[in-house]
Amino acid sequence: MTVIRHRAELLSVPQDPATAGPSAILHHPDGLLAIEDGHVLAFGAWDDLAARFAEAEIVDHKGKLIVPGFVDAHVHFPQTDRIAAHGEQLLEWLERHIFPAEAAFAEKAHCDEVAAFFLDELLRNGTTTALVFGTVHAASVDALFEAALARDMRLIAGKVLMDLGPEDLRDSVAEGRADTEDLIARWHGKGRLGYAVTPRFALTSSDAQLADAGALLAEHPGVLLHTHLSENLGEIAAVAERFTDESDYLAVYERFGLVGPRSVFAHGVHLDDDALVRMGQAGAGIAFCPTSNLFLGSGLFDLARADAHHVRTGIGTDVGAGTSFSILSTLGEAYKVCRMRGRALDPFRALYLATAGGAAMLGLGERIGGLQPGQEADFVVLDSAATPLLARRTAGQSLHDRLFALQMLGDDRVVAHSYVAGRCVHSR
Ligand code: GUN
Ligand code: ZN
């Protein structure tokens, strides 16, 4: 197999610097990333490694920074065309903007068209892996997986279970199970794809469907559970009104066997300490979605409190409630939300959450997120001089300050190239 040497500044944060300390930050100002057969062969200083691969082709990204591909831990591909829909908070926004848009995914041709645009948009933004909501239609997930397979992307998705949804966007317990089992059988583990059992949230599934989601999760050991939790005060009040026997929102999911180490919950904005302790003990994860939480006025996620209770965290754009496909922009908003909560989010920690941290939460930490030898070669080449302002602000600055500027000021414009399994799939 052919070896390719990429020469650039290299940065990878495979461990959480909040717990592992500065040794978690792997940095080579003049680095060599050697790729063979879609995997990382070597990651280190150019001077140390160049001779070992003297015969190999060189791709010189002079002046640019290579980091692992970004992991979007929560996003809705069928909401691509409803990003930036003006007006309401969560429940009204779903009724007015989202459910009508999702109803259009009954047409496979529409699913195909949006799936292709969506994945190309992820790659343009440097996102090489995502945990994705489809719609209630199994064909939406077929379309997304077909498009991801064609791009060789590592992607996890699921058909939405919602037997209490609006009339034109509703399945039954039996249909939800049959579609889910069929999709798992046809797609889970094919290429780089994985499946997530995806009840929309507590309010759109009957008790019987939530119980069946728990059974599906138990019957399929490799799949994830992906849903929403404690996002918005109106939503939380409606959950409390329906589930009078449960002590809180998380307890609803606990009752149905949905809270464990394979569970990823979007938001968790309003969880109290008791719920966070239970999540930490269960090994469940939260996708922190700052642009969505600000856009819908949902609230300010408390990352420090989630950390204190050892709850795993990743970063989600949550498009279409989220307002950007860019994980860099999303990290800029995450910084501001943490600031409002009285903390600063360190840029290296932020990069960890958006790469190896998200990968670990998705059960993919062995494969992606870190660029150590043996990992799959998903990486992005960032240009910190992509705009006049960024060039001016980052010139001659420390890595810490350049990385922070990329997060506060950067977006798709700084993504010079995206590589998936060693292959360049986007160039600006
Ligand atoms: N809760 C239930 N469905 C949704 C959705 O589509 N987006 C968001 N942000 N929250 C939800
Ligand atoms: Zn969402």
Task: Determine if ligand 1 sits within 6 Å of the CB of residue 94.
Answer: yes
Over the stretch 200-232, which tens digit does the pLDDT of each residue have?
Answer: 999 999 999 999 999 999 999 999 999 999 999
Over the stretch 144-156, which tens digit does the pLDDT of each residue have?
Answer: 999 999 999 999 9
Which ligand has its closest atom nearest to the C-alpha of 293?
1
Every domain range in the chain assigned CATH 3.20.20.140: 70-361
pLDDT at 389: 98
Which residues are paired to 382 by β-bridges?
Answer: 65, 415
CA separation for the pair 132, 114 (Å, rounded): 13
Which residues of the chain fall below pLDDT 50?
Answer: none
pLDDT at 28: 98
Give distance in angstroms: CA of 320 to centre of ligand 1: 9
pLDDT at 3: 96
CA separation for the pair 107, 15 (Å, rounded): 43
Task: Determine if ligand 1 sits within 6 Å of the CB of residue 231.
Answer: yes
CA separation for the pair 214, 199 (Å, rounded): 10
Cβ–Cβ under 8 Å, residues 233 and 270: yes
Residue with tokens 């949905």: 258
- Among 82, 231, 253, residue to substitute to test ligand 1 (most atoms within 8 Å of Cβ): 231
pLDDT at 252: 98
Which ligand has its closest atom nearest to the C-alpha of 169?
1
Give CA separation, 102 vs 83, 165, 261, 414, in Å.
13, 11, 29, 31
Cβ–Cβ under 8 Å, residues 129 and 153: yes
Every domain range in the chain assigned CATH 2.30.40.10: 3-69+369-427
For residue 51, count other CB atoms closer than 10 A to its CB. 7
Angle in degrees, CA 82, 328, 289, rounded to 5? 55
Cβ–Cβ under 8 Å, residues 115 and 147: yes
Residue with tokens 């494969």: 367
| CATH number belonging to the domain at 3-69+369-427, selected among 3.90.380.10, 3.30.360.10, 2.30.40.10, 3.30.160.20 | 2.30.40.10
pTM: 0.98
Q: Which CATH architecture describes the domain 70-361?
A: Alpha-Beta Barrel (3.20)
- Among 90, 91, 161, residue to substitute to test ligand 1 (most atoms within 8 Å of Cβ): 90
Which ligand has its closest atom nearest to the C-alpha of 232?
1
Q: Please report the sign of the dihedral spanned by the C-alpha atoms of residue 309, residue 269, residue 118, residue 123.
A: negative
pLDDT at 306: 98
Task: Determine if ligand 1 sits within 6 Å of the CB of residue 292.
Answer: yes
* Encoded tokens for 422: 């060693």
Task: Please list, in sequence order, all residues whose beta carbon lies within 8 angstroms of the beta carbon of residue 388, skipping any fewer than 6 positions away.
Answer: none
pLDDT at 93: 98
